[in-house]
Amino acid sequence: MTLYTVIPEEEIFKNASQERTEQVSEFLEMAWEGRLLLVERLNDEYIRVERILQPCGIQDFLEPAFQPGTVLQLNKT
């Protein structure tokens, strides 16, 4: 990335390392309704779909429930 500016590099990137440590996400591989998904754990109750790792069929990529960014609720049993 090329950045053309008169602002010193230290000023621009001073919070970059701090932001990276604060935004650590927990990604898991999880079986959900017969499909293997890569999900991000939001909290103990919700997950967000990142991608389908192993579909049952090609039509799974068109399912709204498995699209990236979809938030799913985990069942508490």
12-51: pLDDT as tens digits: 888 776 655 555 678 999 998 889 999 999 888 999 999 9
The predicted pLDDT at position 18 comes to 61
Angle at 36 between CA 32 and CA 38, to 5 degrees: 95
**pTM of the complete model beyond 0.85:** no
